[in-house]
Amino acid sequence: MKAHGRVCLVGEDLDWTGGTSILCGINLNIDVNITFTELDTVDINSDGVCCSFLVTGLNEQFDCDPFFRYIIAGLCVWHKSIKKIKAMKICISSEIPIKSGLSSSAALYVALFWELSRLYDIVLSQSYLCELCHQAEAIYLNVVVGYMDFYACSSNGAILFNEKTMQYKSIDIDFLKEEELVLIYTGMSTSTKTINNLKKKRFIESESNLINYIQKGNELVDKMVPYLLLGDIKMVGEKIIKAHELISKYLMVSTNEIDDIVQLCINSGAYGAKLTGCGKGGYIFCIINSMYLPNLESELRKSSLKYILTNII
């Protein structure tokens, strides 16, 4: 089963801090395929990298490679909450770069639980699917995350997600599909666990910049929604730029180098550009008309910046 990554138009961290976020699925996927075997092991192959352990040792495997810990945490949740894990072979292939801010871990969990539900012939509601995903990452792996990425990776198009009510609304964004989506690597990987733990500490201490970010971020979400509904790409782009400014000034997870890349995109004709994900690295996204794309690509090559061309789904 496949699940896709996402970009956050506005509202990083406004799920677990209490608020509303706007997210879009993107056409980069992770594919999980599972088959039962006659062995007594769970064998995992992720793009040629392998891990194997006895089924009876499932709960003892958290000292393995960090990537495989994510998969094992998901298997533990399924084993405890749904049905006993049997001997199986798990094959994973991914187009989503890890530590990228594009929700590779959320997409992994969505695809994993969808595939397990297919294998065990169990129907999962989206809300329960996202609850299982959250248990795996937040409880088993102790990562500070909300639910928004799981909902985004299991929904197509744009969603307006509010964690207080655990509800989301789909937003028709066909007008954005006429534009190009460019993902630009900042040159630095990111770590949700490390960075969000620091944010949580600031949140607990009611640190003023973080509180300002939450307030202004929620206000910006409210301002962007009408323009999304109207299909006003210019104003949507302006709000995306404003969202990056909030990330840089108040959330404080941008850098001068990242801000420069965002400005390069804007100078090259992008409607909007911002960092996406937990911050301090990963990917920037920009939305740009195809007529300006050659100019942007030229500027990115001059700066030796790696980028991916994709689209919103």
pLDDT of residue 137: 96
**For the segment 205-234, what is each residue's pLDDT rounded down to a tens digit?**
999 999 999 999 999 999 999 999 999 999
Q: What pTM does this model have?
A: 0.95
Domains and CATH numbers, the chain: 2-167 (3.30.230.10), 172-310 (3.30.70.890)
CA 14 to chain centre: 14
Closest to 253 (Cα-Cα) out of 25, 6, 8? 8
Residues 104-124 have a mean pLDDT of 97
pLDDT of residue 62: 66
Task: Write the burial class of residue 260 (CB in 10 Å: 0-12 exposed, 13-18 middle, 19+ buried).
Answer: exposed
Secondary structure class of 132 (helix, strand, coil): helix
